[in-house]
Structure 1
Protein backbone atom coordinates (compact mmCIF):
# COMPACT_ATOMS: atom_id res chain seq x y z
CA UNK A 1 0.00 0.00 0.00
CA UNK A 2 1.37 3.41 -0.92
CA UNK A 3 1.17 5.77 2.04
CA UNK A 4 1.02 9.50 1.50
CA UNK A 5 3.33 11.66 3.54
CA UNK A 6 2.99 13.21 6.02
CA UNK A 7 -0.58 12.20 6.98
CA UNK A 8 -2.59 8.97 6.82
CA UNK A 9 -6.28 8.35 6.51
CA UNK A 10 -7.98 6.40 9.31
CA UNK A 11 -8.07 3.31 7.07
CA UNK A 12 -4.34 3.57 6.35
CA UNK A 13 -3.49 4.03 10.03
CA UNK A 14 -5.79 1.15 10.97
CA UNK A 15 -4.10 -1.13 8.44
CA UNK A 16 -0.63 -0.11 9.59
CA UNK A 17 -1.41 -0.38 13.33
CA UNK A 18 -3.59 -3.48 13.23
CA UNK A 19 -6.40 -1.61 14.97
CA UNK A 20 -9.93 -1.00 13.79
CA UNK A 21 -10.92 2.50 12.74
CA UNK A 22 -13.38 2.57 15.65
CA UNK A 23 -10.45 1.98 18.04
CA UNK A 24 -8.63 4.95 16.49
CA UNK A 25 -11.67 7.12 17.07
CA UNK A 26 -11.90 5.88 20.67
CA UNK A 27 -8.21 6.68 21.33
CA UNK A 28 -8.73 10.09 19.79
CA UNK A 29 -11.77 10.79 22.01
CA UNK A 30 -9.66 9.71 24.99
CA UNK A 31 -6.97 12.25 24.03
CA UNK A 32 -4.29 9.65 23.28
CA UNK A 33 -3.88 10.53 19.60
CA UNK A 34 -4.83 13.55 17.51
CA UNK A 35 -5.94 14.10 13.97
CA UNK A 36 -6.36 17.08 11.73
CA UNK A 37 -9.28 17.61 9.36
CA UNK A 38 -9.23 18.15 5.64
CA UNK A 39 -11.38 20.79 3.97
CA UNK A 40 -13.90 17.97 3.47
CA UNK A 41 -13.84 17.26 7.25
CA UNK A 42 -12.04 13.94 6.87
CA UNK A 43 -9.60 12.86 9.57
CA UNK A 44 -5.88 12.70 8.83
CA UNK A 45 -3.31 11.34 11.26
CA UNK A 46 0.37 12.23 11.36
CA UNK A 47 2.47 9.22 10.38
CA UNK A 48 4.13 9.09 13.78
CA UNK A 49 0.74 8.29 15.32
CA UNK A 50 1.52 4.63 14.72
CA UNK A 51 4.35 4.91 17.30
CA UNK A 52 2.00 6.55 19.81
CA UNK A 53 -0.44 3.70 19.27
CA UNK A 54 2.31 1.14 19.85
CA UNK A 55 3.12 2.94 23.12
CA UNK A 56 -0.56 3.02 24.17
CA UNK A 57 -1.06 -0.65 23.37
CA UNK A 58 2.14 -1.77 25.12
CA UNK A 59 1.26 0.19 28.27
CA UNK A 60 -2.32 -1.05 28.19
CA UNK A 61 -1.23 -4.63 27.74
CA UNK A 62 0.68 -4.56 31.03
CA UNK A 63 -2.31 -3.03 32.79
CA UNK A 64 -1.54 0.68 32.85
CA UNK A 65 -4.86 2.56 33.02
CA UNK A 66 -5.73 4.87 30.11
CA UNK A 67 -5.71 7.88 32.44
CA UNK A 68 -2.07 7.15 33.34
CA UNK A 69 -1.16 6.63 29.68
CA UNK A 70 -2.86 9.91 28.77
CA UNK A 71 -0.96 11.74 31.53
CA UNK A 72 2.34 10.24 30.37
CA UNK A 73 1.73 11.32 26.77
CA UNK A 74 0.66 14.79 27.90
CA UNK A 75 3.99 15.20 29.70
CA UNK A 76 5.94 14.80 26.46
CA UNK A 77 7.19 18.09 25.02
CA UNK A 78 4.93 19.47 22.29
CA UNK A 79 2.94 16.23 22.18
CA UNK A 80 5.79 14.44 20.41
CA UNK A 81 5.91 10.72 19.88
CA UNK A 82 7.41 8.71 22.75
CA UNK A 83 10.98 7.54 22.28
CA UNK A 84 12.68 4.44 23.68
CA UNK A 85 14.09 6.63 26.47
CA UNK A 86 10.57 7.87 27.28
CA UNK A 87 9.32 4.30 27.48
CA UNK A 88 12.21 3.34 29.76
CA UNK A 89 11.51 6.24 32.13
CA UNK A 90 7.75 5.71 32.19
CA UNK A 91 7.92 1.94 32.50
CA UNK A 92 10.25 2.35 35.46
CA UNK A 93 7.62 4.57 37.11
CA UNK A 94 4.92 1.96 36.45
CA UNK A 95 7.04 -1.00 37.59
CA UNK A 96 6.29 -0.61 41.33
CA UNK A 97 2.56 -0.46 40.68
CA UNK A 98 2.76 -3.54 38.46
CA UNK A 99 4.79 -5.39 41.09
CA UNK A 100 2.08 -4.59 43.66
CA UNK A 101 -0.64 -5.87 41.32
CA UNK A 102 1.32 -9.05 40.64
CA UNK A 103 1.75 -9.65 44.39
CA UNK A 104 -1.96 -9.04 44.99
CA UNK A 105 -2.99 -11.40 42.19
CA UNK A 106 -0.56 -14.05 43.41
CA UNK A 107 -2.04 -13.79 46.91
CA UNK A 108 -5.59 -13.98 45.50
CA UNK A 109 -4.64 -17.06 43.50
CA UNK A 110 -3.15 -18.71 46.58
CA UNK A 111 -6.18 -17.80 48.72
CA UNK A 112 -8.51 -19.17 46.05
CA UNK A 113 -6.85 -22.57 46.29
CA UNK A 114 -7.37 -22.55 50.06
CA UNK A 115 -10.94 -21.39 49.67
CA UNK A 116 -11.75 -24.24 47.31
CA UNK A 117 -10.34 -26.76 49.81
CA UNK A 118 -12.04 -25.10 52.77
CA UNK A 119 -15.45 -24.54 51.20
CA UNK A 120 -16.65 -22.49 54.18
CA UNK A 121 -17.52 -19.22 52.41
CA UNK A 122 -17.92 -17.81 55.92
CA UNK A 123 -18.40 -14.07 55.97
CA UNK A 124 -16.37 -13.89 59.16
CA UNK A 125 -13.44 -16.17 58.31
CA UNK A 126 -13.11 -16.42 54.51
CA UNK A 127 -9.64 -15.21 53.50
CA UNK A 128 -10.77 -14.66 49.91
CA UNK A 129 -14.26 -13.21 50.30
CA UNK A 130 -13.69 -11.19 53.48
CA UNK A 131 -10.01 -11.14 54.47
CA UNK A 132 -9.52 -10.38 58.17
CA UNK A 133 -13.28 -9.75 58.52
CA UNK A 134 -12.73 -6.30 56.97
CA UNK A 135 -16.43 -6.00 56.19
CA UNK A 136 -17.42 -6.61 59.80
CA UNK A 137 -15.00 -3.94 60.97
CA UNK A 138 -16.32 -1.34 58.53
CA UNK A 139 -20.01 -2.25 58.83
CA UNK A 140 -20.76 -3.67 62.29
CA UNK A 141 -24.25 -5.07 62.63
CA UNK A 142 -24.93 -5.38 58.90
CA UNK A 143 -25.82 -8.84 57.70
CA UNK A 144 -25.05 -8.51 54.03
CA UNK A 145 -21.73 -8.13 52.25
CA UNK A 146 -23.12 -6.63 49.07
CA UNK A 147 -26.31 -4.69 48.56
CA UNK A 148 -28.32 -4.49 45.38
CA UNK A 149 -29.45 -1.10 44.11
CA UNK A 150 -33.01 -2.01 45.00
CA UNK A 151 -31.96 -3.09 48.57
Structure 2
Protein backbone atom coordinates (compact mmCIF):
# COMPACT_ATOMS: atom_id res chain seq x y z
CA UNK A 1 0.00 0.00 0.00
CA UNK A 2 2.79 2.43 0.83
CA UNK A 3 4.32 1.86 -2.61
CA UNK A 4 1.07 2.90 -4.30
CA UNK A 5 0.82 5.98 -2.11
CA UNK A 6 4.34 6.93 -3.17
CA UNK A 7 3.53 6.41 -6.84
CA UNK A 8 0.33 8.41 -6.50
CA UNK A 9 2.20 11.21 -4.74
CA UNK A 10 4.77 11.33 -7.56
CA UNK A 11 1.98 11.39 -10.17
CA UNK A 12 0.32 14.31 -8.39
CA UNK A 13 3.60 16.21 -8.24
CA UNK A 14 4.04 15.69 -11.99
CA UNK A 15 0.48 16.94 -12.54
CA UNK A 16 1.32 20.11 -10.59
CA UNK A 17 4.55 20.50 -12.58
CA UNK A 18 2.63 20.10 -15.87
CA UNK A 19 -0.06 22.57 -14.75
CA UNK A 20 2.47 25.26 -13.76
CA UNK A 21 4.43 24.80 -16.98
CA UNK A 22 1.24 24.92 -19.06
CA UNK A 23 -0.02 28.08 -17.28
CA UNK A 24 3.32 29.89 -17.77
CA UNK A 25 3.46 28.93 -21.46
CA UNK A 26 -0.16 30.01 -21.93
CA UNK A 27 0.51 33.35 -20.22
CA UNK A 28 3.47 33.90 -22.57
CA UNK A 29 1.61 32.64 -25.68
CA UNK A 30 4.08 29.79 -26.16
CA UNK A 31 2.60 26.81 -27.97
CA UNK A 32 4.63 23.61 -27.47
CA UNK A 33 3.51 22.51 -30.94
CA UNK A 34 5.53 25.43 -32.35
CA UNK A 35 8.72 24.01 -30.80
CA UNK A 36 11.84 24.29 -32.88
CA UNK A 37 12.57 21.36 -35.19
CA UNK A 38 13.34 18.04 -33.52
CA UNK A 39 15.68 16.60 -36.19
CA UNK A 40 18.39 18.14 -38.35
CA UNK A 41 18.78 17.85 -42.14
CA UNK A 42 20.47 14.44 -41.68
CA UNK A 43 17.53 13.14 -39.68
CA UNK A 44 19.58 13.18 -36.46
CA UNK A 45 17.77 14.29 -33.28
CA UNK A 46 18.39 17.89 -32.25
CA UNK A 47 19.83 18.30 -28.77
CA UNK A 48 19.23 21.83 -27.52
CA UNK A 49 21.81 22.70 -24.86
CA UNK A 50 21.38 25.99 -23.03
CA UNK A 51 24.22 27.43 -20.99
CA UNK A 52 22.43 29.67 -18.50
CA UNK A 53 24.98 32.22 -17.33
CA UNK A 54 24.75 34.57 -14.36
CA UNK A 55 26.55 37.51 -12.84
CA UNK A 56 27.80 37.86 -9.30
CA UNK A 57 29.41 35.60 -6.73
CA UNK A 58 28.54 32.30 -8.44
CA UNK A 59 29.35 33.37 -11.99
CA UNK A 60 32.17 31.77 -13.93
CA UNK A 61 35.46 33.67 -13.53
CA UNK A 62 36.23 33.22 -17.21
CA UNK A 63 32.83 32.98 -18.91
CA UNK A 64 34.38 33.07 -22.38
CA UNK A 65 36.50 29.98 -21.65
CA UNK A 66 33.45 28.13 -20.27
CA UNK A 67 31.37 29.02 -23.33
CA UNK A 68 34.22 27.88 -25.61
CA UNK A 69 34.43 24.51 -23.83
CA UNK A 70 30.68 23.94 -24.15
CA UNK A 71 30.74 25.04 -27.80
CA UNK A 72 33.58 22.62 -28.62
CA UNK A 73 31.90 19.71 -26.83
CA UNK A 74 28.53 20.47 -28.41
CA UNK A 75 30.16 20.58 -31.86
CA UNK A 76 31.39 17.01 -31.29
CA UNK A 77 27.78 15.74 -30.97
CA UNK A 78 25.70 15.47 -34.14
CA UNK A 79 22.57 17.59 -33.75
CA UNK A 80 23.76 19.57 -30.71
CA UNK A 81 22.82 23.25 -30.75
CA UNK A 82 24.26 25.52 -28.03
CA UNK A 83 22.42 28.59 -26.82
CA UNK A 84 23.97 30.93 -24.26
CA UNK A 85 21.59 33.04 -22.20
CA UNK A 86 22.23 35.58 -19.45
CA UNK A 87 19.39 34.91 -17.00
CA UNK A 88 19.27 38.45 -15.59
CA UNK A 89 18.71 39.91 -19.06
CA UNK A 90 15.60 37.85 -19.83
CA UNK A 91 12.01 38.84 -19.16
CA UNK A 92 9.76 36.24 -17.55
CA UNK A 93 8.34 35.18 -20.91
CA UNK A 94 11.82 35.09 -22.47
CA UNK A 95 12.89 32.73 -19.66
CA UNK A 96 9.88 30.49 -20.32
CA UNK A 97 10.61 30.56 -24.08
CA UNK A 98 14.31 29.72 -23.70
CA UNK A 99 13.68 26.86 -21.31
CA UNK A 100 10.75 25.51 -23.35
CA UNK A 101 13.24 25.09 -26.21
CA UNK A 102 15.95 23.43 -24.10
CA UNK A 103 16.72 19.74 -23.64
CA UNK A 104 19.75 20.19 -21.38
CA UNK A 105 20.42 23.22 -19.21
CA UNK A 106 23.87 23.83 -17.71
CA UNK A 107 24.22 26.55 -15.09
CA UNK A 108 26.04 27.63 -11.98
CA UNK A 109 24.02 27.00 -8.81
CA UNK A 110 21.55 29.79 -8.14
CA UNK A 111 17.97 31.00 -8.35
CA UNK A 112 18.04 31.00 -12.18
CA UNK A 113 17.82 27.20 -11.98
CA UNK A 114 14.22 27.48 -10.79
CA UNK A 115 13.57 28.09 -14.50
CA UNK A 116 13.87 24.31 -14.89
CA UNK A 117 10.14 24.41 -14.17
CA UNK A 118 9.70 25.36 -17.84
CA UNK A 119 11.73 22.42 -19.22
CA UNK A 120 10.01 19.33 -20.57
CA UNK A 121 9.95 16.18 -18.49
CA UNK A 122 12.94 13.96 -19.26
CA UNK A 123 15.16 17.03 -19.74
CA UNK A 124 18.53 17.20 -18.01
CA UNK A 125 19.98 19.73 -15.59
CA UNK A 126 23.74 20.19 -15.12
CA UNK A 127 24.49 22.31 -12.05
CA UNK A 128 27.89 23.75 -11.14
CA UNK A 129 28.99 24.80 -7.66
CA UNK A 130 31.74 27.28 -6.70
CA UNK A 131 34.91 25.69 -5.31
CA UNK A 132 34.50 25.01 -1.60
CA UNK A 133 30.76 25.71 -1.64
CA UNK A 134 29.58 22.12 -1.15
CA UNK A 135 31.33 21.89 2.20
CA UNK A 136 29.38 24.91 3.48
CA UNK A 137 26.10 24.50 1.63
CA UNK A 138 24.25 22.09 3.84
CA UNK A 139 20.87 21.09 2.44
CA UNK A 140 20.92 23.99 -0.02
CA UNK A 141 23.08 21.97 -2.37
CA UNK A 142 20.19 19.55 -2.94
CA UNK A 143 17.38 22.04 -3.71
CA UNK A 144 17.65 21.92 -7.51
CA UNK A 145 18.37 18.19 -7.48
CA UNK A 146 15.11 17.61 -5.58
CA UNK A 147 13.18 19.93 -7.89
CA UNK A 148 14.52 18.12 -10.98
CA UNK A 149 13.72 14.72 -9.48
CA UNK A 150 10.16 15.70 -8.57
CA UNK A 151 9.64 17.16 -12.05
CA UNK A 152 10.73 14.05 -13.95
CA UNK A 153 14.16 15.33 -14.98
CA UNK A 154 17.74 14.11 -14.66
CA UNK A 155 20.12 16.17 -12.51
TM-score (norm 1): 0.24
Write 1 or 2 for the structure with the bigger share of helix.
Answer: 1
Point out the structure with max Rg over C-alpha: 1
TM-score (norm 2): 0.23
Write 1 or 2 for the structure with the bigger share of strand.
Answer: 2
